Amino acid sequence: MSETDTETQARLDSLLDQIEELSQSFAGYPCNLNFDYSELHPFFKYCVNNVGDPFDDSNFRLNTHALEREVIAQFADLLHLDQQQAWGYVTSGGTEGNMYGLYMGRELLPDGVVYFSQDTHYSVVKLLRVLKARNIMLKSQDNGEVDYLDLYETIRINRDVPVIFMANIGTTMKGAVDDVRKVREILDDLAVTSYYIHGDAALSGMILPFVEHPRPYGFDAGFDSIAISGHKLIGCPIPCGVALTKRNYVARIARSIEYVGVLDTTLMGSRNALTPLMLWYALRKHGWDGYREIVAEMLAVAQYAVERFNEQGIPAWRNEHSVTVVFPKPSPEVVRKWQIAPYGDIAHIITMPQVTREVVDKIVADCVQ
């Protein structure tokens, strides 16, 4: 081995050791680290690319479009969208999924105003700037849910303008779910007929389908598009997600590209072909029953965390059906050690599968000290 090769291997070994060590104290962000895709390693020898619409043939035949279509079909069922109406694709993550939903809303309602709450993911402000979409930020309630009175009054003032509403199905910091039933009641009460509702279901889109009496989360509740992350609850070494909408909407923006022989309906041109493969594999491996068990345990640990914090005099809480546990921001040392997500004077941990009761005990003990 040459000196250069030796140095390269040393750098790789050092990085791997660092990542393995840090993975043992990863509690503040919604990424499931309990996955194993070793059976898929042979696919890394090839250049695969899901360019273009997954429901269309492509001249670039080194792709996983067939598996991507199966993934979309399964999520359509999960989110109560009829297979004949469903369209979607595997994205690079929640931000791209939200951008697609907002892009679709703007294309269908070019004069519309986007309404979103102050607890909406930070990337949305950037997306709206990129899309040059008119927008109004709304107040949030203390639990992170949108302030419906502010929504009502703001739309009332602008009732002649089409509405594009950005609903949170699990806010970033507090895990709050906007009630789309109340939103639609407001629109009906104000006689607003031109509207589009997008749901950011990055994390809770894989929780609410598996609990009793959830807030509405699917297309049957009135959503026009929904984005879910793949690297969060499902778990994946590469950030990814799913964007879902209705086929007749997409037909409005599709155009044929001769170069690759495929319809251009996605935001990206070249798209990752390995992430659809990974999601397909994970869904086959666990099934919805498997994720139901995973979600039940995550929720149980979240409740355990709330109780343990409170027992030690630390006021912690969580929203219903949420694995996000909110508590006062601890010391910088604790934040850094456990990679906890802070915001203002609060912080949270998210009880992903690697955040066990034992891990919770250690975090609480460090916060007390």
pLDDT for 25: 97
Of 54-63, 218-227, 329-338, the poorest mean pLDDT is in 54-63
Domain locations in the chain as residue ranges: 3-36+291-368, 41-284
Per the rule left: phi > 0, alpha: psi between -120 and 50, beta: everything else, 115 is: beta
pLDDT for 251: 87
> Residue 277 phi/psi, 5° resolution?
-65, -45
As a whole number of angstroms, the distance between CA 262 and CA 59 comes to: 7
As a whole number of angstroms, the distance between CA 236 and CA 138 comes to: 33
Q: In this structure, which CATH number among 3.40.50.150, 1.20.1560.10, 3.40.640.10, 3.30.450.40 belongs to the domain 41-284?
A: 3.40.640.10
Is the Cβ–Cβ distance between 177 and 208 less than 8 Å? yes
- Model confidence band, residue 369 (pLDDT cutoffs 50, 70, 90): confident
pLDDT for 266: 93
Give pLDDT tens digits for 70-95. 999 999 999 999 999 999 999 999 99
Percentage helix, strand, coil for the chain under 3-state DSSP, each rounded to 5: 45, 15, 40
pLDDT for 257: 67
As a whole number of angstroms, the distance between CA 325 and CA 347 comes to: 8
Give pLDDT tens digits for 296-328. 999 999 999 999 999 999 999 999 999 999 999
Cβ neighbours of residue 208 closer than 8 Å, sequence gap 6 or more: 169, 177, 201, 214, 215, 217, 321
Residue 109 has pLDDT above 60, yes or no: yes
Residue 1 has pLDDT above 60, yes or no: no
Q: What is the mean pLDDT of residues 93-103?
A: 97
pLDDT for 277: 98
Residue 123 has pLDDT above 70, yes or no: yes
Task: State the fold for domain 3-36+291-368.
Answer: Aspartate Aminotransferase, domain 1 (3.90.1150)
Residues identified as active-site: 322
pLDDT for 202: 97
